[in-house]
Every structure is written in C-alpha cells, then in structure tokens.
Amino acid sequence: MRNYKWMSLLLATLFISVQNYAQGSADWQLDKMPVDLETDYALSALPPHLRNDATIYLLDPQKGYYVGRQGSNGYMCFIVRTEWEWSDFRQDVCTPISYDAEGARAIFPVYMDVAAMRATGKYQAAQIRDSIIHRIAAGVYKAPAKPGISYMLAPVMRVFPGNPDIKEPITISMPHYMVYAPYLTEENSRYKQGTDGLMLANPDNAVLGDGKGPYGFIVIPASDAETAVIVEDGKDLLKRLVAYRAYFKIEPGGAHHHG
C-alpha cells in the first residue's frame, strides 16, 4: 500500500508537470544585484539591533544562494527572487526576509533549493513548484518544530499580492512581523480576515490545500509610527533601489501578498 501511494503521488506530480511544460522559461536567468545593495537590502528585513551579527545569504544567479557573511546570533536574512507557488519566473520579485534559527532550519531550505533549481536553467517554473509540493508531501521539507519569528521590516518590497489569480507583482511598503503557525487555518483559529493589526498567511493555501501548508504565519503589521521610522531610516536605501530598478518606486495603495 505504501508503494502504491508513492507511485500515485509521483504520477500525479509528473502529470501536472507535463501539463505545465508549455510555459516558457526564457526568463529563468536572474540578474546579479550589486553585492553592497543586496547586502543592505537583505539586512533591512531585520530590526537594527540584530543586523551586525546576522548571517547574510546572497544570490548567485548561476548557482543559487551562498553565505555572504557568517553571523553568530542565530538570525539570517536574504532576498527572495522566486516565489515558487506562482509558477512564474519573474525578474521583478524582490522580497527581503529574515528567519531565526528554527526558520533557517525548516523554511529556508525550500528557498535555497528553488534558487538552485532555477539557476540551472533546466526546469520550468511549474516543474519547480511541483517538485516542492512533492517534497513537502514526502516529508523532505518539514514545518517549524517550535515557535519562532520572521522579521520582514524592509521599507519596500516587490511581491505577488495574495490573490493567486493576480499574476503581476506589486511594490509596497508594509514592514511586518511573522510568527510561525504551521497548518493554521481560519477555521481552527476562529479568525476573521480583515481584522486590523493581524493577518494569517497561507491559511487557505491554493497550492497544497486548506490546512496543508507547513509554512503558515500569523502576520502582525508594524504600527504606523514604526513604519514611518523604518521608511525614514531607509530613504537612502530606497533611492539606491529605485536607481537600480524603477519597479522599486512605491506606488500608493496596494495590499500585502499574504492574507
């Protein structure tokens, strides 16, 4: 019976991959962000008191993530350039994220593997998505085993909105905190979306199914006062980012991609 289940899962994964194989992969190759800019942008995910001793991962578009600086405080940061759930090789997704030691152990390997697969140029975006789904189902990737926090306090980020039907990323300023909440759903949390000051990330995962996403989060936006300080302190970084790519210019309105 166990072998049958594994075979069914494998065949289903291959079937989905074949269905999506027609998607183009001409844009799989990412550009290399200048190291000083990438470093400062990645560090902006963390609160200032954690930055000096955090580990920084940088992206080599031809290989994947590598350690740009080894830290000592258990926190790490990097920039997401590929959101695997959307099955799309975008050039304009840039989201600084940080994890504590538990997030680095349980969650970051997914991003590392996605970046490495994309860097080879051998995979369609949909194939990478299907591979990640398969590995989650097989237990290769596991949910965080204990509570922890991910800081996403950058003054700006380029992300997909929460609606999977919207295929274009948006540029927003929404510094926030994310507390690990594996498999949390709206139903079992009795949470009503739209409540001020709190959101659930990934409670109704469209890729894995409701309650099956191991990387759920409780999202707490920074206060207006804190956001104002973050944006003010990051104004020079914002100028450098816009000079690098025009899509970093913050437009009014928009919502965070989680929710």
| pLDDT, block means (10 residues), the chain with 259 residues | 37 36 59 97 98 98 97 98 90 96 97 96 94 93 95 95 74 94 78 68 73 87 95 97 94 47
The answer to whether 237 touches 179, Cβ cutoff 8 Å, is: no
Single pTM value for the model: 0.84
**Would you tell me how many other CB atoms lie within 10 Å of the CB of residue 258?**
20
State the pLDDT at residue 196: 65
* DSSP per-residue letters across 48-62: HHHHTT-EEEEEETT
State the pLDDT at residue 200: 80
DSSP 8-class letter at 252? S
**Would you tell me how many other CB atoms lie within 10 Å of the CB of residue 71?**
16
d(CA 61, CA 91): 11
Element (H, E) at 120: helix 108-120
State the pLDDT at residue 20: 39
State the pLDDT at residue 186: 74
State the pLDDT at residue 7: 33
State the pLDDT at residue 163: 63
State the pLDDT at residue 164: 61
The answer to whether 219 touches 197, Cβ cutoff 8 Å, is: no
The answer to whether 248 touches 241, Cβ cutoff 8 Å, is: yes
d(CA 20, CA 126): 6
d(CA 220, CA 209): 23
